[in-house]
Amino acid sequence: MNNKKIWVAGHRGMVGSAIVRRLQQDDCDILTVSRQDCDLTDNAAVAEWVGDNKPDMVVLAAAKVGGILANDTYPVDFLYENLAIQNNVIRNSYDHGVEKLLFLGSSCIYPKLADQPITEDALLTGPLEPTNEWYAIAKIAGIKLCQAYMKQYGARFVSAMPTNLYGPHDNFNLETSHVIPALMRKAHRAKKAGENGMEIWGTGTPLREFLHVDDLADAAVYVLNNYEDMEHINIGSGTDLSISDVAKLVMEVVGLEGDLRHDLDKPDGTPRKLMSASKLRAIGWTPSIELRDGLMQTYEWFLEHVEN
Ligand code: GFB
């Protein structure tokens, strides 16, 4: 990667900004472009920008993302925008001679009732979780497009599937966010208001696997340097816990006492999606940030950057 020009597409998001921070430790030239200067859903704009800037490598972290309710409420945005962004970035990367590309997807690509822990070969073996099938279909198409470029043209375009992520620069909007930032904000508000306990969506029984975004960024750079297979690779922590347990942990970190109340009108989503970490371990990468430590660091970031 030394002296290479690496374009991080989506550098303002939680994932893209973490990848930029990680790449700053290496001897490479990081390229970024704002949405104003290059709308990634516009093929002509992407073609022009990639042609002018000629990256050697690309990390495709740009995507329309959100939590369970946003996915369920805005299916067009999640399907159409993601297809457009990834089609434009992948195609123009190939057309302009990018030597390696890493496409980032999501663990929701797997069947709703896949055997656990989920190995990479479970892809397309069963029906998807309905709340996020739109996003999942787009991400599956992205994996397939990278594979197609590899098969037809020998392009070194690989894909990695991160588990549920959290960390600095997350979206803390209660309607559109993922579970951890939502719980953090709710716990913080309840504490400030002197309330006891807080409300969470659904039954609290679904199991989720979480990874701090700095671990994800480290793994992504590792995969960029060390992985060449056509099959995608999972990036996770290897352990999961129930939503109720993560809510209690967030309450501890924030310093809120009391019990959980359940809004049963809200969806639970997939009952469990623990990914197998075997393939990633086999190439030599392991995570280093414990969930409690990562939550404490994220809460500090929230206090400084969102709350104030
Ligand atoms: O993180 P999350 O929105 O997404 O929700 P998914 C995870 C679980 O937390 C669900 C519960 O069972 C929610 O019902 N939950 C409890 C809450 N309280 C809350 C809350 O206040 N806010 C939110 N957001 N959830 C997403 C997919 O699925 O995961 C995406 O929709 C993507 O496509 C992403 O794959 C990683 O884990 O269910």
**Cβ 233 vs Cβ 160: under 8 Å:** yes
- The two structure tokens encoding residue 278: 């075997």
Quote the percentage of the chain above a pLDDT of 70.
100
Active site residue 299: no
In this prediction, residue 308 carries a pLDDT of 80
User: What is each CA distance from 93 to 19, 88, 100, 157, 162, in whole angstroms?
Assistant: 19, 8, 9, 9, 22
Cβ–ligand 1 contact at 181 (below 6 Å):
no
Cβ–ligand 1 contact at 135 (below 6 Å):
yes
- 34-61: pLDDT as tens digits: 999 999 999 999 999 999 999 999 999 9
DSSP H helices in the chain = 14-23, 43-53, 68-73, 75-76, 82-95, 133-153, 179-192, 213-226, 243-254, 278-282, 291-302
Across all residues in the chain, what is the average pLDDT?
98
Tell me how far the alpha carbon of residue 179 lies from the centroid of ligand 1, in angstroms.
5
- Of the residues 110, 135, 149, 166, which is catalytic? 135
**Sign, Cα dihedral of 235, 239, 242, 247:** negative
In this prediction, residue 140 carries a pLDDT of 98
Cβ–ligand 1 contact at 163 (below 6 Å):
no
In this prediction, residue 119 carries a pLDDT of 98
In this prediction, residue 166 carries a pLDDT of 98
In this prediction, residue 2 carries a pLDDT of 86
Give yes or no for residue 1 having a pLDDT over 90: no
**Cβ 166 vs Cβ 212: under 8 Å:** yes
Neighbours of 143 (CB within 10 A): 24
d(CA 65, CA 177): 9
- 80-91: pLDDT as tens digits: 999 999 999 999
- The two structure tokens encoding residue 110: 């797997």
d(CA 306, CA 292): 20
Nearest CA to ligand 1 atom 33: 132
- 103-159: pLDDT as tens digits: 999 999 999 999 999 999 999 999 999 999 999 999 999 999 999 999 999 999 999
In 3D space, the residue among 308, 200, 202, 180 whose CA is nearest the CA of residue 254 turns out to be: 180
Of the chain, the end-to-end C-alpha distance in Å amounts to: 38
Give yes or no for residue 295 having a pLDDT over 90: yes
Tell me how far the alpha carbon of residue 178 lies from the centroid of ligand 1, in angstroms.
5
d(CA 24, CA 44): 29
Give yes or no for residue 305 having a pLDDT over 90: yes
Cβ–ligand 1 contact at 245 (below 6 Å):
no
Pocket test for ligand 1, best of 166, 201, 262 (most atoms within 8 A of CB): 201
Tell me how far the alpha carbon of residue 53 lies from the centroid of ligand 1, in angstroms.
37
- 221-230: pLDDT as tens digits: 999 999 999 9
Tell me how far the alpha carbon of residue 265 lies from the centroid of ligand 1, in angstroms.
14
Cβ–ligand 1 contact at 68 (below 6 Å):
yes
Give yes or no for residue 182 having a pLDDT over 90: yes
Quote the percentage of the chain above a pLDDT of 90.
99
